[in-house]
Amino acid sequence: MNLLGQAIDWIIQNPEEFNRALGQHLLMSITAIVFALAIGLPLAVLILRHGSMAAAAINSVNGLRTLPSLAILAIMMPILGIGLWPSIVALTILALPPILINAYIGLRDVDADVIEAATGMGMSERQILRKIRIPLAAPAMFAGLRTASVQVLAGATLAPFIGGGGLGDFIAVGIAGMDQARLLVGAVPIALLALGTEFLLGQTERLLFGERRAA
Amino acid sequence: MITMKNVTKRFDGTGAAAVDDLSLDIPDGITVALVGPSGCGKTTTMRMINRLIEPTSGTILVSGRDVRAADAVELRRHIGYVIQQVGLFPHMTIAQNIASVPRLLGWDAGRIRARSSELMQLVGLEQSMLERYPRQLSGGQRQRVGVARALAADPPVLLMDEPFGAIDPIARTRLQNEFRQILKRVKKTVVMVTHDIDEAVRLGDRIAIMRDGRIVQYDTPETILSRPADGFVENFVGADRALKRLTLFSTGSIMTPGTGDASLPRVDKDGDLRDALSAIVAARSTAAAVVDEEGKMIGTITQAAILAV
Amino acid code (one letter) for B103:
R
Whether residue B146 is found in the same domain as residue B23: yes
Residues B255, B235 share a domain? no
Distance CA A169, CA A161 (A): 9
Taking CB atoms and an 8 Å limit, are A120 and B83 in contact across chains? yes
Chain A residue numbers with beta carbons less than 8 Å from the beta carbon of B90 are: 111, 114, 136, 212
B211 and B86 in a common domain? yes
Q: What is the pLDDT of residue A214?
A: 45
Q: Is residue B170 located within the same domain as residue B257?
A: no
CATH number at residue B211: 3.40.50.300
Could you say which residues of chain B have pLDDT below 70? none
Give the pLDDT confidence score for residue A151 in this predicted structure. Answer: 92
Q: Are A87 and A159 in contact (CB under 8 A)?
A: yes
**C-beta neighbour count of A76 within 10 angstroms:** 21
Rounded (5°) CA angle A108-A124-B127: 90
Q: How far is A112 from chain B (nearest CA, A)?
A: 8
Give the span between the Cα atoms of A50 and A41, in whole angstroms. 15
Domain boundary residue, one of B239, B259, B288: B239
Of B73, B81, B133, the CB nearest to A117: B81
Give the amino acid at B230. Answer: D
Please tell me which of the candidates A119, A121, A132 has its beta carbon nearest to residue B101: A121
Q: How confident is the model at residue A203 (pLDDT cuts 50, 70, 90)?
A: very high
Inter-chain residue contact A123 with B73, CB threshold 8 Å: yes
For chain B, the domain total comes to 2
- One domain for residues B137 and B192: yes
Q: Do B149 and A118 touch (CB under 8 A)?
A: no
Q: Is B204 exposed, middle or buried (0-12, 13-18, 19+ CB in 10 A)?
A: buried
pLDDT value for B258: 85
The answer to whether residues B53 and B172 belong to one domain is yes
pLDDT beyond 50 at A180: yes
What is the average pLDDT across A75-87? 82
Q: Read off the CATH number of the domain in which B259 is found.
A: 3.10.580.10
Q: What is the pLDDT of residue A213?
A: 53
Residues B228 and B259 in one domain: no
In angstroms, rounded to a whole number, what is the distance separating the alpha carbons of residues A199 and A202?
A: 5
Contacts A–B by Cβ distance under 8 A: 70
- Whether residue B89 lies within 8 A of chain A, CB to CB, comes out as yes
Confidence class for position A53, pLDDT limits 50, 70, 90: confident
Element (H, E) at B60: strand B57-62
Q: Given B239, B270, B297, which residue is the final one in a domain?
A: B239
Residue A164 has pLDDT above 90, yes or no: no
pLDDT recorded at residue A102? 94
What is the mean predicted confidence (pLDDT) over A114-118? Answer: 94
Q: Which amino acid is at B241?
A: R
- Show which of B194, B218, B239 is a domain's final residue: B239
**B100 shares contact with chain A (CB less than 8 Å):** yes
Q: Residue B113: enclosing H or E segment and its boundaries?
A: helix B109-122
Judgement on whether residues B294 and B184 belong to the same structural domain of the protein: no
pLDDT for the residue A215 = 37
Domain holding B157, by residue range, is 2-239
pLDDT of residue A1: 59
Establish if B96 touches chain A: CB-CB under 8 angstroms: no
pTM: 0.83
CB B246 within 8 A of CB B309: yes
Give yes or no for residue A23 having a pLDDT over 90: yes
Asked if residue B172 and residue B296 are part of one domain, the reply reads no
Among B50, B90, B133, beta carbon nearest to A120: B50
pLDDT level of residue A90 (50, 70, 90 thresholds)? confident
Q: How far apart are CA A201 and CA A205, in angstroms?
A: 6
CA A167 to each of CA A154, A176, B46: distance values in angstroms, whole numbers, following the listed order: 10, 15, 64
d(CA B93, CA B125): 14
Judge if B164 and B274 occupy the same domain.
no
**pLDDT at res. B86:** 87
> Residue B98 has what pLDDT?
96
ipTM (interface predicted TM)? 0.84
pLDDT band at A71 (very low <50, low <70, confident <90, very high): confident
C-alpha B188: how far from chain center? 11
Give the strand pairing for B189-194 and B31-35.
parallel
Q: In the CATH hierarchy, which fold is given to the domain comprising A3-11+18-106+141-207? A: MetI-like fold (1.10.3720)
Rounded to the nearest 5 degrees, what angle is found at the Cα of A118, between the Cα atoms of B176 and B59? 80
Q: Is B52's CB within 8 Å of A120's CB?
A: yes
pLDDT at A69 over 90: no
**pLDDT for residue A72:** 76
Q: Judge whether B187 lies within some domain.
A: yes
Residues B215 and B268 in one domain: no
